[in-house]
């Protein structure tokens, strides 16, 4: 008989996952603990292993589908077992398919309720489309706006065929190619939209003189290399942040919208926005206040590499209180970071370059760079944000005042 594999409870409030990529296909033999599928949750991308040795009998969720925890996603014919249990598919909960991936349900039978939202019904009335004659491509056969437009002759439904050139049929230009928004890219899109539509975001920018840090780094570069550490300017920023955040607790906080409460954090878990080949990932440096400069640099490098290699653990993506994003070698003049919701502050670190500056009424060459601070104005006022950023800049411009020999390792 068949063994039904359900999407497991991946932990910490994860209620659903997106089927990013199947690693097996129907009819393929699998062994116990062999990876079956890659699933993306709000927390991480994980591989689900096979709980049994056998043969893949049926795959119940397409790539791009979003399925709740507990949904049957694949059935395995256990080695030596009999026929598949006929109810295996019946246990599967409806999934939300990605564009280009849905299987359309048949049009409703006579007298059967048509599944469509009020907005879709209004659109159908406007276009003169009888919903009873439309085949729904949405979850559980729900009729979408794209289905109605297609029925009215305005284009293909969400799961419609594509041309040989990759462009969707029904009006798309033959020079266009449609790429499904899946996996981490979809999570980033959802998160950014939710962040911008929820928080009252604004950005404050100030210039920082990094000359003293450049000199300090140069003076300790050999010592760092001997300890196996690549000492970066970002490590100094991370090392300076906890002490400044302690003085401005509103920035080390989240906003609980449902309870209308600001949640102040008495711990300092700094997010490291990291670019990967699939998109932006934010691993967390937990209890950053306990790390010396070299340990901070080592942890930054370890987490960034783990993110790029897709080897982050779930706990390394959870519990952040404040985020830092660096534009790296292509730092630019400044950017406007988007909040990592529900956090209320994010710091952008930009290019550090030699520029002329006025010091003691003299024009001298200094290592200057901009810092941009985006804030949720519902929690942090502009004056508080400015005070925080200037306090951080003061720290960074005088590293020897807080970095003793004992603070390095």
Q: What are the residue numbers of the active site?
A: 377
| Beta partners for residue 59, in sequence order | 74
In angstroms, the CA 147 to CA 387 distance is 53
Q: How far is CA 188 from CA 192, 217, 300, 407, in A?
A: 6, 34, 21, 36
Q: Cα(first)–Cα(last) distance of the chain, in Å?
A: 58
CB 40 within 8 A of CB 184: yes
Helix (H, G, I), strand (E, B) or coil at 133: helix
**Sign of torsion over alpha carbons 254, 197, 9, 282:** negative
In angstroms, the CA 188 to CA 98 distance is 15
| Beta partners for residue 354, in sequence order | 367
Give Cβ neighbours of residue 252 (< 8 Å, ≥ 6 apart): 245, 246, 264, 265, 268, 321, 322, 345
In angstroms, the CA 290 to CA 282 distance is 20
Closest C-alpha to 335, from 316, 352, 349: 349
Q: How far is CA 256 from the centre of its chain?
A: 20
Helix (H, G, I), strand (E, B) or coil at 224: helix
């Amino acid at each position: 008989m068949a063994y039904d594999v359900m999407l497991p409870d991946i932990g910490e409030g994860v209620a659903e996952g997106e089927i990013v990529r199947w690693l097996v296909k129907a009819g393929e033999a699998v062994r116990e603990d062999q990876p079956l599928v890659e699933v993306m949750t709000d927390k991480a991308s994980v591989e689900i292993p096979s709980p049994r040795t056998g043969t893949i009998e049926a795959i119940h969720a397409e790539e791009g589908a979003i399925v709740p925890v507990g949904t049957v996603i694949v059935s395995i014919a256990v080695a030596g077992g009999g026929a598949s249990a006929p109810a295996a598919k019946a246990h599967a909960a409806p999934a939300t398919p990605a564009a280009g991936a849905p299987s359309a349900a048949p049009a409703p039978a006579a007298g059967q309720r048509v599944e469509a939202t009020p907005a879709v019904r209004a659109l159908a009335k406007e276009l003169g489309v009888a919903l009873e004659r439309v085949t729904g491509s949405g979850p559980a056969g729900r009729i979408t706006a794209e289905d109605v437009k297609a029925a009215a002759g305005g284009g293909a439904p969400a799961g419609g065929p594509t041309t040989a050139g990759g462009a969707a049929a029904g009006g798309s230009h033959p020079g266009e190619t449609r790429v499904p928004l899946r996996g981490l890219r979809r999570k980033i899109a959802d998160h950014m939209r939710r962040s911008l539509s929820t928080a009252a975001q604004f950005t404050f920018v100030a210039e920082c003189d990094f000359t003293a840090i450049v000199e300090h780094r140069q003076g300790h570069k050999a010592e760092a290399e001997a300890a196996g550490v690549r000492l970066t300017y970002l490590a100094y920023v991370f090392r300076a942040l906890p002490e400044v955040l302690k003085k401005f607790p509103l920035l080390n906080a989240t906003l609980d919208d449902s309870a209308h409460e600001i949640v102040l954090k008495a711990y300092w878990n700094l997010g490291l926005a990291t670019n990967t080949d699939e998109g932006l990932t934010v691993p967390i440096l937990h209890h950053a206040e306990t790390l010396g400069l070299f340990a901070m640099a080592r942890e930054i490098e370890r987490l960034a590499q783990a993110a790029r290699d897709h080897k982050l653990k779930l706990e390394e993506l959870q519990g952040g209180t404040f985020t830092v994003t660096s534009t790296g070698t292509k730092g630019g003049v400044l950017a406007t970071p988007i909040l990592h919701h529900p956090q209320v502050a994010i710091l952008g670190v930009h290019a550090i370059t030699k520029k002329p500056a006025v010091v003691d009424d003299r024009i001298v060459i200094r290592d200057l760079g901009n810092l941009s601070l985006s804030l949720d104005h519902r929690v942090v006022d502009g004056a508080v944000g400015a005070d925080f950023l200037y306090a951080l800049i003061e720290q960074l411009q005088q590293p020897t005042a807080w970095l003793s020999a004992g603070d390095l390792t």
